[in-house]
Structure 1
Amino acid sequence: MKITAISNLELCGSKEALKEKISRLCEAGISEIILREKNLSVSEYCALFCEVLQICNHFGVRLFLHNFLDLAFKMEHKFVWLPLGVLQNFRQNSTRNLSEFEKIVVSAHSTDEAKLALNLGANALCLSHIFQTDCKANLEPKGLDLIRNVREFWGGEIYALGGINSANFRLVLEAGADNIAIMSSAMQTQNEAKFIVNFKI
Structure 2
Amino acid sequence: MKITAISNLGLCGGKEALKEKISRLCEAGISEIILREKNLSVSEYCALFCEVLQICNHFGVRLFLHNFLDLAYELNYKFVWLPLQILEQKSNRNLAKFEKIVVSAHSTSEAKIALNLGANALCLSHIFPTDCKANLEPKGLDLIHNVREFWSGEIYALGGINFSNFHFVIESGADNIAIMSSAMTCENEKEFVKKFKI
The alignment's TM-score, normalised by the length of structure 1, stands at 0.98
Q: Distance in 2 between matches of 1:127 and 1:74?
A: 28
| Alpha-carbon separation, structure 1, partners of 2:22 and 2:197 | 19
- Distance across 2 between alignment mates of 1:200 and 1:88: 35
Q: Quote the residue 1:10 is aligned against.
A: 10
Q: Which amino acid aligns with 1:183?
A: M
Identity of aligned residues (%): 82
Residue 110 (1) aligns with residue 107 (2): yes
Instruction: Give the deviation of 1:90 after TM superposition.
Output: 0.2
Matched, 1:39 2:78: no
CA shift digits 1:93-149 (9 cap, x unpaired): x4x310100000000000000000000000000000000000000000000000000
* SS at structure 2 position matched to 1:125: strand
Measure, in 2, the Cα distance between the counterparts of 1:56 and 1:161. Answer: 21
Alignment match, 1:173 = 170
Separation (CA, whole Å) in 2 of partners of 1:71 and 1:27: 27
Q: Secondary structure of 2:96's match?
A: helix
SS at match of 2:90: helix
Quote the residue 1:72 is aligned against.
72
Write the letter of the residue equivalent to 2:126. Answer: H
Distance 1:29 1:199 in 2: 11
The answer to whether the aligner puts 1:125 opposite 2:107 as a matched pair is no
Match of 2:53 in 1: 53
Is 1:149 the counterpart of 2:143 in the alignment? Answer: no
Match of 2:95 in 1: 98
RMSD across aligned C-alpha pairs, in angstroms? Answer: 0.4
Superimposed CA distance per residue, residues 34-63 of structure 1 (whole angstroms, 9 cap, x where no aligned partner): 000000000000000000000000000000
Indicate the residue corresponding to 1:22 in structure 2: 22
> Equivalent residue of 1:33, what SS?
strand
Identify the residue that residue 133 of structure 2 maps to in structure 1: 136
Q: Distance in 1 between matches of 2:43 and 2:35?
A: 14
Amino acid at match of 1:81: W
Tell me how far apart the structure 1 counterparts of residues 120 and 13 of structure 2 sit (CA, whole Å).
33
SS of aligned partner of 1:106 = strand
Q: Partner of 1:193 in structure 2? A: 190
Q: Distance in 2 between matches of 1:56 and 1:157?
A: 22
Map of 2:180 onto structure 1? 183
Q: What is the letter of the counterpart of residue 38 of structure 1?
A: K
State the distance in 2 between where 1:135 and 1:78 align: 29
CA distance in 1, matches of 2:103, 2:133: 19
Q: Which residue of 2 aligns with 1:162?
A: 159
* AA partner of residue 70 (structure 1): D
Unmatched segments (≥5 aa) in structure 2:
none
Instruction: Give the structure-2-normalised TM-score.
Output: 0.99
Q: SS in structure 1 opposite 2:5?
A: strand
**CA separation in 2, counterparts of 1:147 and 1:72?**
28
User: Which consecutive residues of structure 1, in runs of 5 or more, have no partner in the other structure?
Assistant: none
Moved >6 Å (runs of 4+): none
